[in-house]
A and B are shown apart, each in its own frame.
Chain A
């Protein structure tokens, strides 16, 4: 039996760009996540401080991490989509010219 993907996809010229972007965004999110863990470990009482609509830092930071994940994901997807259209369309043009 051939060893190949279940669904075939063509060459993705944006793959390298997407990988670099993904790593950068992962580092940004990881830093915010480490900040959350760090406050809990080194100054846990800070989490009791009221910061927004009467809610404490623990709740706001926790919700913030969840919402921030979605925001970053949407930005990442938009940037990847744009690059895919650009680079993969260029290749199609070149193929057409040949």
Chain B
């Protein structure tokens, strides 16, 4: 049934796109929906655009594993809309035509600005596309039983079809539909979480045993790559891995874990794979998986049946989870190399509620000054990123007036803000209801829905999938606009008719779509919200200084804008590539990364501002000499 509902919903969305797209023939219709969308529809469509895979899958997943730290993204993303509303929305609407480049270039008519802004739109769109494609792959894996890469390719092809046949009108209505449904069904899910209440024994939870040394015979002690101690124990011919807990003055304890063992024959050829001791075969490949995790061990000092709360209010739920006598069982993983065996062990540990419900588990706000700076850097990029995202900015051109742009932003703030409040409940619901997949936290919200039945799971998954489709469509329209309108028509000066411009946009959409597919497969496994946070840093560094200074500093010159965009892009991407987030991807230790912060915004955004100011001062037009 899940697959049927899913396919029905996705089919409806695609059908709607084709229907609306039939009438789109002009460039104004393709890139800006003719500028005639109602502000209320546009406002919800903003929510549809903005509440991407990062918000629904990424934030909920991060809260499910890292507690309050994931909610910081919700706060930062929403705060960014204030910058968009108060500073950017109306002036941009007055200045532009189809694209962000038009607005920046309205005063100067400079080839340099056209090229830099178009490239920036392309690059930011692609950076933002990566997490959406990763999210798509993650979604179809459990729902349709497909490989991650198949899911990514499927989304890519569908979106290319939507965008290449329709454009901004259909993208807007798809976003409107999806944004509305996402908020409605997320509300249903949160109500279900509150009605279920909290329990230390949620349905389907496995009890992971803590053994004393007397219960474990002949442990083979192993050390993980990051220095954790584990024990391989064989009992009755079945081997198991335990996390060794050694505390000063206390006896050694052995914590039951979950594990994946990959055997190779010594020549690098992959051999058998075991999951929790069971060999993976063709027969059990679809069903054999790690158990879902995440439970409460204690609620405000109580355990077992006594701790069950039954239905509770949202406030009570948050209050109980914040209690220092509440204990949350969370999970981590460690890699062990033992001869030809590669073992990944997933082990539980506990955290008190008061630590889960405030920043600190992911962003080390009590750590070194550098770690605190990393937190500030993230919050800065989130605050300034929204108002610089090209696929958000182009939505201002779909409404008829600056006042409508303002009103649609307010509808967006209301609906997005409400949804972000829901993310805290959905993430925490997943954290304590034993639904988190230890391999990836991105699926936490749909899996939470699954714990309430197949119907809700199918609907939520279909909406999440449509979320990805819609956001990717918007991004590809933005990117294709940058190529066809900014680069080919305005920068290269090709005399293009309306028809050829739309045609060029569609070809660009196909190329960008293919790039997104490839990158979506490459970045598998990274949290989608984290990747979006990086895209925000790139957008805030490349575009925001140019927008702000153009509006508020009369001495801004075209050279200043052009160079600051390029410096912003290069700095944000370059610093990310040499950061601790990326070093493990190259097979190197994160600690060896030359740039110590995970979030580059705190360096790249001021650098871009400074560049604009310096270059503008150096390139001031000469005052006409008086006679």
Contacts and interface: CB of A to CB of B under 8 A. Distances in A.
A76 B86 contact: yes
B319 A6 contact: no
B354 A12 contact: no
Contacts of B501: 1
Contacts of B413: 69-70, 73
Nearest to A3: B97
A3 to B, nearest CB: 6
Interface residues of A, number: 49
A13 interface: no
Residue of B358, B360, B379, B490 contacting most chain A CB atoms (<10 Å):
B358
A44 to B, nearest CB: 4
Contacts of A33: 79, 379, 383
A87 interface: no
A44 B360 contact: yes
B359 A73 contact: no
A77 B406 contact: yes
A81 B86 contact: no
Nearest to B380: A37
Interface string B48-65: 000000000000000000
A65 B79 contact: yes
A15 B93 CA distance: 12
Contacts, number: 166
A23 interface: yes
Given A41-B365, A66-B420, A22 B85 contact: yes
A12 B87 contact: no
B417 interface: yes
B94 A5 contact: yes
Nearest to B322: A56
A33 B384 CA distance: 12
Nearest to B485: A1
Contact of B78 (A7, A9, A65, A77): A65
Contact of A70 (B102, B401, B414): B414
A36 B75 contact: yes
Q: Is the interface of B mostly helix, strand, loop or mixed?
A: helix
A26 B79 CA distance: 10
Interface string A55-83: 11111001101110110111011001100
Nearest to A88: B403
Contacts of B319: 50, 53-55
B78 A66 contact: yes
Contacts of B406: 76-77, 80
Contacts of B397: 5-7
A21 B406 CA distance: 13
Interface in B1-46: 27-28, 31-32, 34-36
Contacts of A74: 410
A37 B383 CA distance: 11
B529 to A, nearest CB: 16
A48 B354 contact: yes
Contact of B359 (A18, A54, A58): A58
A50 to B, nearest CB: 7
B357 A73 contact: no
A6 B28 contact: yes
A23 B86 CA distance: 6
Nearest to B551: A19
Contacts of B93: 5, 9
B446 to A, nearest CB: 24
B225 to A, nearest CB: 30
Nearest to B72: A62
B32 to A, nearest CB: 4
B545 to A, nearest CB: 15
19 contacts: A1-B489, A3-B490, A5-B95, A6-B98, A7-B36, A18-B90, A23-B87, A41-B376, A44-B360, A47-B358, A50-B319, A53-B315, A55-B319, A59-B318, A59-B322, A66-B75, A66-B421, A67-B417, A77-B406
Given A5-B95, A6-B397, A58-B357, 13 more contacts: A6-B35, A6-B98, A15-B90, A19-B90, A26-B82, A26-B83, A44-B358, A44-B360, A47-B359, A48-B322, A48-B354, A59-B357, A70-B414
